[in-house]
Amino acid sequence: MKILAIDTSTDRTAVAVIENGEVLANGFHKDSLAHGEALPKLILDMRSQLQDLDLVAIGMGPGPFTGLRSGIAFGQSFALAKGIPWVGVSSLDALAAQFGDEEFLVQIDARRKEVFYARFKSAKRVAPDAVAQLSQLEKLGLPIHTGFPEPKHIAELALIQNIAQPIYVRRPDAFPTPKGVKFRNITQLDLVEIAAIEKESFEHDPWSIEQIKSEYLAPGRFYVVAEFEGRVAGYAGIVKRGESGDVLTLSVAPKHRRKGIGRELLRRLIDWARSNNCEAMMLEVRIGNDEALPLYASFGFIEISKRIDYYGPGQNALVMRKDLK
């Protein structure tokens, strides 16, 4: 199979033509502000190898927005003009293909003093893409590799992956408040509805009304609820312990999930922690909670340890931390 591979997830524009694993032509240009200008020139330089292409393989990120979009838009347009399919792949997976450690991280510059990263063990991904400060990753004590996703690996992954949308890990700077939802401090009138959401969300160990009441009345706590059409749609709480803001709970009623409510609740906890001079935030999340884990990762929380049987026998938790300083 003859593949044109493109990646613009880093400050390097990379293109290559690969046929059955052999690189027939490649080109690179390193300039974080020139992906759009570099791509046509690099393609033109290898025009003699562009006949009889079967596929366009595109690195879908994560990566800085503008450069990433340049490569994706160019690759899709090129495939359309040629009348051939295109396939998107993970740029971090392509980068990881260069390394053989037992367990390691790979990272790509995300700017703003942050990096996009993923964790691998025995050549297999063990965590979703996330964003964090490099200093946070260094605390994990694992090898951290960086570099450039090679077009050859982009082409190889195109045979087993098919990612249709750009991989955007970092939350937007401004995120719209969920339509029709009001956020306010908790009151005693909310306890019955919160207890009902607890039973829906935490099958094994929901808080009772008495527990919820004692928690929100305890000193040093901050609790916020999301209200929709006069009913509680979600809630979250945090307490400052030492220099850390510890997330006590965050839950959204099942029928209101995937509407941005959990994201806004977490953002308000982070704002509270910062306003109370917390140096970091900590939380526990059930291993296998595939809705919460990507949310926390998108805000820069990283795994630091595990707690066995934390939620009951066989119900283990990840401990996650976000530095605020």
- Stretches where the chain sits below pLDDT 50 are none
What pLDDT sits at residue 112? Answer: 77
What pLDDT sits at residue 120? Answer: 95
What pLDDT sits at residue 178? Answer: 83
- Domain check: are 157 and 261 in the same one? no
What pLDDT sits at residue 291? Answer: 85
- Which three-class secondary structure state does DSSP give residue 19? strand
> Please, which residues have CB within 8 angstroms of residue 224's CB and are 6 or more apart in sequence?
183, 184, 185, 186, 235, 236, 237, 265, 268, 269
What pLDDT sits at residue 174? Answer: 52
- Domain check: are 250 and 105 in the same one? no
The Cα 72–Cα 157 span in angstroms is 16
- Domain check: are 3 and 140 in the same one? yes
- Domain check: are 221 and 290 in the same one? yes
pLDDT tens for each residue of 157-212: 999 999 998 998 865 555 667 889 999 999 999 999 999 999 998 877 888 999 99
- Which three-class secondary structure state does DSSP give residue 214? helix
Q: What range does the domain containing 135 cover?
A: 1-168
pLDDT tens for each residue of 213-238: 998 889 999 999 999 999 999 999 99
| Contact by Cβ (8 Å): 68, 39 | no
What pLDDT sits at residue 172? Answer: 55
CATH number of the structural domain spanning residue 259: 3.40.630.30
Q: Provide the number of structural domains found in the chain.
A: 2
> Please, which residues have CB within 8 angstroms of residue 282's CB and are 6 or more apart in sequence?
244, 245, 246, 247, 319, 320, 321
